[in-house]
Chains A and B, each alone.
Chain A
């Protein structure tokens, strides 16, 4: 364990738009061990997807630009590779599953053609062999009658099945790293449970590392080893899963947890919303990006953007006032009530 698979250092990604430069990712550094599941949590515009698209070198350039940083994958800086070299890695060693299973499959090609394509391209399999492997892959993600369904087109599959096909395709070359960008957001909860169940099982069987992007703290609580919380292009808190939920120390993380109703709590417990809106990524405020929505704000927050500071065992938070957060947190999280055990 704890062989570093991916090491991202000071990654910055920007987009040139009519209104000015959008600072989508602002100096993000994190690492991922082999076989580890990392959760990337944040709202729309927090930079979670853009940072992963940067890792995959899938940012459209222009208007996008990776302004600085290193992405060390198995000792190689992916940002320095030629497009051809990058193609050898993409889909082979690092695979990605996207949010919308309706648009990420080609509607005019059969499922079989789309799965075998990567197998023939990356692994040099013969048509016959690739087909056999495709059937295995579909069985692996619980698609019934896999043999027959290879001839079907995407529209003949339901949303949940399409997402399972996407996962099968992503896993076809046995990648070391699977990046899943909100793979269950477009799906119903019972289907979401099917997908997360399959991913957990496949991870046990295949041992790949996973980066799971989501805005849903509930989903990530059941999946991740470690979690990065992102806000306006920064990682604002990072910790092991249980530590983060038991002991959140960034006002934004606390805010997120306080603003969602939980299935296992009483009716109409007053939610604590995060007031205001995320900052404009073109004209970023000085100081901490969260300061104008933060109830723990002090003068220092307006002047200086806090770096990630060690606040516990393998736990970092980018907040000057994390001690104040620790004291007031339980009130915001409605932790006065004794939670009944979940069904």
Chain B
């Protein structure tokens, strides 16, 4: 079987799986996920003095074939969430159920095998490609690691992948420095696609790129999703991009998800005061609309995740805070139609 037929076969199986699922099939179920990074002191005898609570109890699911957007400001834990799901960081607590199997419990060979189903696209296309490897070797590496293809078959598969992401197959012997940022990001995408994954974590895949190139990559990701039935967790700080590409959006603040709903509702009817502030802060490229818009300007900065505020984490900056917010952490509740929010006031 040559590489082409193999891919086609794999694609067909996947589309079939997607059809059966009709969108309500849960691929990934994250339950109360926590990731703490210890802060240590001392040279010989290191003792833990505190924790950076990067992710502090998040729960959500991702359905087969959908794109879940994860949005938030720097330091809110969105990238850590993505990496912890893929077990690049081992979770401190909680479950990551991928097709019902808890990845947090898997180890060694078993986990390694699962990795061919889950891939990642990184933010910085300059740092995530080895400068000493040719593009061909970079894309072929996952094929070798997972024993998918060898020799001529491998080469054909790499060339096919280059073509899929819109690069010239003759580029196979070039090095990353010969490519522009947008082209490098395409190489990163080809590498992620090499193993025919079902699920891809896209960690800020376009924020390092120029505006005119961003749209090329967004369109490519959308085409690939339709073609291969991919499921995305799309992490970004740019709300307009996240809203554009996602079916549902989760908004993170200081290690917690504060609101989760479909992308239309998030924009039309945002409930959490942080979501509202975030939406109102995103500029719209239209001077007439900008003139009329009322901005909610948040005071101050995000508190430290080492000592997150007691009660609701947002209360220090919240324009709607009431006394209870300082004392009691609000519960994660469903307000109808799969719209989740964590706030006392709404």
Contacts and interface: CB of A to CB of B under 8 A. Distances in A.
Contacts of B279: 263, 343
A261 B243 contact: yes
Contact of B298 (A194, A256, A261, A263): A194
Interface string A148-174: 000000000010110000000000000
Interface in A116-161: 158, 160-161
Interface stretch (A67-75, A100-108, A210-218, A320-328): A210-218
A189 interface: yes
Given A188-B73, A261-B244, A222 B301 contact: no
B211 interface: yes
Interface stretch (A55-63, A271-279, A296-304): A271-279
Given A261-B241, A261-B244, A342 B283 contact: no
B304 to A, nearest CB: 10
Given A189-B239, A197-B295, A241-B287, A274 B212 contact: yes
Interface string B126-140: 000000000000000
A242 B237 contact: no
A193 B280 contact: yes
Contacts of A221: 283-287, 289-290
Interface in A258-291: 258-275, 277
B281 A158 contact: no
Nearest to A197: B297
A216 B283 contact: yes
A264 B210 contact: no
A268 B237 contact: no
Contact of B237 (A161, A188, A266): A188
Interface in A43-82: 43-44
Contact of A189 (B218, B278, B287): B278
A222 B288 CA distance: 8
B214 A264 contact: no
Contacts, number: 150
B250 to A, nearest CB: 16
Contact of A271 (B219, B264, B270, B295): B219
Interface residues of A, number: 50
Given A189-B73, A259-B215, A261-B243, A268 B222 contact: yes
Residue among B215, B216, B247 having the largest count of chain A Cβ atoms under 10 Å: B215
B240 interface: yes
A22 B276 CA distance: 45
Contacts of A43: 210-212
B318 to A, nearest CB: 12
B214 A260 contact: yes
A219 interface: yes
A216 B285 CA distance: 8
A218 B263 contact: no
B180 interface: yes
Given A245-B286, A262-B284, A267-B244, A342 B74 contact: no
B30 interface: no
A260 B284 contact: no
Given A189-B237, A221-B283, A264 B215 contact: no
Given A189-B278, A264-B284, A343-B279, A256 B211 contact: yes
Nearest to A266: B264
Interface string B198-234: 0000000000001111111011001000000000000
A341 interface: yes
Residue among B182, B222, B289, B295 having the largest count of chain A Cβ atoms under 10 Å: B289
Contacts of A342: 284, 289, 292-293
A140 to B, nearest CB: 16
A242 B281 contact: no
A343 B280 contact: yes
Contact of B263 (A217, A255, A260, A267): A267
Contact of B210 (A44, A160, A241, A257): A44
A4 interface: no
Nearest to B179: A277
Nearest to B237: A188
A233 to B, nearest CB: 15
Contacts of A44: 210
21 contacts: A43-B211, A188-B73, A189-B73, A190-B297, A194-B297, A216-B211, A222-B293, A241-B287, A246-B288, A256-B212, A261-B245, A263-B282, A263-B284, A265-B244, A266-B264, A270-B219, A271-B244, A277-B182, A342-B289, A342-B293, A343-B293
Counting from the closest, the 4 A-B pairs by CB-CB distance are A218-B283, A261-B244, A259-B215, A273-B215
Interface of A: 43-44, 158, 160-161, 188-194, 197, 215-219, 221-222, 241-242, 245-246, 255-275, 277, 339, 341-343
